[in-house]
Structure formats: structure tokens, C-alpha cells
A and B are shown apart, each in its own frame.
Chain A
Amino acid sequence: GAGVSQSPSNKVTEKGKDVELRCDPISGHTALYWYRQSLGQGLEFLIYFQGNSAPDKSGLPSDRFSAERTGGSVSTLTIQRTQQEDSAVYLCASSFRTGTYEQYFGPGTRLTVT
């Protein structure tokens, strides 16, 4: 069975450009999470979606970050006007629902802003 997939696996972009990162969750999982892991740092929660409810955006570090989830499945994380401090591995996870359900992680997208 397919796990969580993310694309691209690596992205190098110039400072100031916009980037889009994609996450395909496990089929049937209604909850989808985005996390960030900066080099040598711990994991940081960014945003989660549960079904058709409004997403919890409380972890987004600035208004340059936004995320969508179309049709309750695929999600896109967009970073506008990228900065060097945005360089990190962006991880997506999905679970059956939010709360007390195991999360399954994708392989991540390594973003480098030059």
C-alpha cells in the first residue's frame, strides 16, 4: 500500500522566489499535518487539516506561509518570497483523524534557499 508521498524531494530556490511543496496523504486519512525541521533543530508544527474543517494555522511562522488541501486529499504548502531561514526539511504526515491516532510521515522535501 502507498504511504505518504511528498514532492519534490529536493528544492533549491533563490531568495525571494515562491515555492510550492506537495503532499499526498494515505488514502482515507482525513487528517494531514505539515511540520518543519531546520538543520540541527527539532521538529516544528506548522499547520494541520482535519476533514473539511478550517485548518489550524497556529504554527505557521509568518504570513508568507500558507497551505491548502483540495478535496480533502492532496495538500500544497506555499512559501512566498522565500528567505534563507526558510531552508529546512518540510515533512508531511497523515492520520485517520486528528487526536489519538498514529501519524504516518512522508519522506520530506528538503528546501534550500540560496
Chain B
Amino acid sequence: KNEVEQSPQNLTAQEGEFITINCSYSVGISALHWLQQHPGGGIVSLFMLSSGKKKHGRLIATINIQEKHSSLHITASHPRDSAVYICAVYANDMRFGAGTRLTVKP
């Protein structure tokens, strides 16, 4: 079993829909990152969380340390949100989920 599990693996949504991507982990961590990888391959860090909730524009990330679970939400999704979203946990080194491929159709 992977230490970092993401769901779903693939997600297709219509523009405007509310998106949720989930991440569960099994190790003790000091921080959790949500990364976005565009089709061209570039990776951007969206959030780094160690507790609670963060919001940036239409993106919201939450983490529940006790339940070892984090969610990434996208409100009013747009085709430009189409990318792979990767959950990564920091526990002496970085461990990555397999990613969620999001496609938002106009």
C-alpha cells in the first residue's frame, strides 16, 4: 500500500463545477503539499499545509492531521484548471501520491 493515496485518479468535470480531490497518508508528517503539474510538465506548488485550511483564489486546501487526510477543492472550475494535481507529504523526505488528472470541459 502506498504511503500517500489520492483519489480519484482521473476526474472529468464541466466548467463551473465544484471539484474535490482527496489525499490520505499513513505516515507522520510535518507538512503536506499540493502541487499542480501542467500538460507541459512544469510543476507549481499550490499550497503547503501543516494544519487547518488555506485559500487562494478559487482553490481551497484543508488538512485533518488526526485523520491523516487532506482535500483540495476548486470552486467554479475552468478549463485552464486542467492539470495533474499531486499530493506530497514531507516526513524527513518527500513522498508523493500518484496524482489526479483533472480535465475541465468548456
Contact = CB atoms under 8 A, between A and B. Distances in A.
B11 interface: no
Interface string B53-95: 0000000000000000000000000000000001010101111
B94 A56 contact: no
B42 A43 contact: no
B98 A102 contact: no
Contact of A91 (B43, B95, B97, B98): B43
B98 A107 contact: no
Contacts of B20: none
Interface in B33-53: 33, 35, 41-45, 48, 50
Q: Which of B31, B42, B43, B97 has the most CB of A within 10 A?
A: B43
B30 interface: yes
B94 A35 contact: yes
Contacts, number: 52
Interface size class of A (residues with CB under 8 A): 20 to 34
A98 B92 CA distance: 8
Q: Bin the interface of chain B by size.
A: 20 to 34
B45 A102 contact: yes
A65 to B, nearest CB: 15
A45 B42 contact: no
B33 A45 contact: no
A42 interface: yes
Interface string A73-114: 000000000000000010101000011111111011000000
Interface of A: 33, 35, 42-45, 48, 56, 58-59, 89, 91, 93, 98-105, 107-108
